[in-house]
Structure 1
Amino acid sequence: MEIKQAEFTTSAVKPGQYPEDGRVEIAFVGRSNVGKSSLINTVTNRRKLVKVSQTPGKTRLINFFIINNQFYFVDLPGYGYAKVSKSEQAKWGGMMEQYLINRPQLKKVALLVDCRHKPTGDDVMMYEWIKHYGYQVIVVATKKDKLNKSELQRSAKVIKETLKLNPEDNLVFFSSLKKEGKEELLNEMFKDIEL
């Protein structure tokens, strides 16, 4: 899959604001500082498609981006950032759950984790949520450039064990800085998907 065109379409907080054209959607979710914006920009070949913030927790809406005029990338709010109030966190959780519960267009979810750290309780809960709602999940371990080869092997073991990955779940290591893992991630995203 080659991405030739990517544009911001709309932001939403409730189902009535989601696109209604029935196109396939692939969502991205992860902790607030995991590098989600950078990853989407790298995958779409657009440096500023998604605003990259120095302040974690900036994505507070569900953002839809039309790709190749064929399908959507959906950027979900980051979670697990301590400086956000509990009521705000609960609001985001409700918004994301609402999206995940009843979205037949959503075919896959990329769950981003930082390869330098053991997945958090929030990451485990998000993985279980995605599986509970019956979506295919791709676990993307970001910031690959920060680890050497043996550290990456250890990281893969820790991520698989902590999330209790199923054999059919894919783990892709990714570096936005070096653009490593991009082809593999795109291949995983579009495997078994009819556009």
Structure 2
Amino acid sequence: MTSQTYNYHMTHFVISAPDIRHLPSDEGIEVAFAGRSNAGKSSALNTLTGQKSLARTSKTPGRTQLINLFEVEEGIRLVDLPGYGYAQVPEEMKRKWQRALGEYLQMRNCLKGLVVLMDIRHPLKDLDQQMIQWAVDVGTPVLVLLTKADKLASGARKAQTTLVRNEVESFMGDIQVEAFSSLKKIGVDKLMAKLNTWFSEIPPEVLEDVLSGE
């Protein structure tokens, strides 16, 4: 199947929601971004869309624990899931976020793919592995982005990427691993290509409406 190309620079913020019950109807296609709070998730979304503050516009103080939706085109959305693993967050709030993450991954039918971001120098922490396992369990394909790849020399970057690729084989799922840097634009093309593939799997009748502008 040939992937359609989407203009991610047209992406705009739609809504912030505390859980899946407050999200728009479960239709169209969503690709979710997940990662530890310091993994560079906002930077990746901003780099992808060519907008310096897109991911932050929905993250004013008090809203950082919310699920944030951005629309690329009608029925085609990017989802910024709450960052996890932030040490200074109270335990009760951590549990609340974890429930929201789990519910979204396991119950949101329009979820087509999951992008898991992790620092290339500290990959596959326990919560990273839990996110991947959740996705594999429900048959959702995963793109692992090893962020801050510019922090490593080229040889070390390739070696670390290969190491993580080998380690994720144990999950027995559809998992692609790529080095990524928002600063140096490393891997942005791989991210766009994967998103184009996932978004091109829209049901024919929905794709027809989108292309016709209805």
TM-score (norm 2): 0.82
Cα RMSD after superposing both structures: 2.0
Which residue does the alignment assign to 1:134?
139
- 8 Å CA contact 2:9–2:51 kept in 1: the answer is no
Alignment partners' CA distance in 2, 1:28 and 1:5: 18
Q: Please list, as runs of the form range in 1=range in 2, the aligned pairs for 1:181-192 lying within 5 A after superposition.
A: 181-192=187-198
Give me the whole-angstrom Cα distance separating, in 1, the residues matched to 2:82 and 2:163. 25
1:194 and 2:201 are equivalent in the alignment: yes
Q: CA deviation at 1:160?
A: 2.6
Residue 170 (structure 1) aligns with? 176
User: Would you say 1:76 and 2:117 are equivalent positions?
Assistant: no
Q: How many angstroms apart in 1 are the aligned matches of 2:173 and 2:68?
A: 30
Aligned length: 191
| C-alpha distance after superposition, 1:57-86 (max 9, x if no partner) | 973100000113341100001111111111
Q: In the alignment, residue 110 of structure 1 is paired with which amino acid?
A: V
Secondary structure of the corresponding residue to residue 180 of structure 1: coil
Aligned to 1:11: 16
1:157 corresponds to 2:168: no
Of 62-71 and 28-37, the range deviating more from structure 2: 62-71
Partner of 1:34: 39
1:132–1:21 Cα change, 3 Å? closer
Q: Kindly, what percent of the aligned residue pairs are identical?
A: 35
Contact in 2 for aligned 1:118/1:158 (Cα 8 Å): no
1:170, distance to aligned residue in structure 2 (A): 0.9
**Which one has a larger percent helix, Structure 1 or Structure 2?**
2
| Alignment match, 1:87 | 92
C-alpha separation between the residues in 1 aligned to 2:76 and 2:84?
25
The superposition leaves residues 93-113 of structure 1 with CA deviations (integer Å, 9 ceiling, x where unpaired) of: 111111112111110000111
- Equivalent-residue separation in structure 1 for 2:26 and 2:123 (angstroms): 39
In structure 1, what is the Cα distance between the partners aligned to 2:167 and 2:108?
28
- The letter of the residue matching 2:25 is E
Decide whether the 8 Å contact of 2:71 with 2:78 is kept in 1.
yes
Match among 112, 116, 119 for residue 117 of structure 2: 112
Deviation at 1:4, TM superposition (A): 3.6
Unaligned runs of 5+ in 1: none
For residues 169 and 61 of structure 1, the distance between their equivalents in structure 2, rounded to whole angstroms, comes to 26
User: How much does 1:156 deviate?
Assistant: 1.4
* Corresponding residue of 2:211: none
- The 3-state SS of whatever aligns with 2:56 is coil
Return the letter of the residue paired with 1:20.
S
1:4–1:68 Cα contact (<8 Å) kept: no
SS in 1 for 2:102: helix
- Match of 2:31, SS? strand
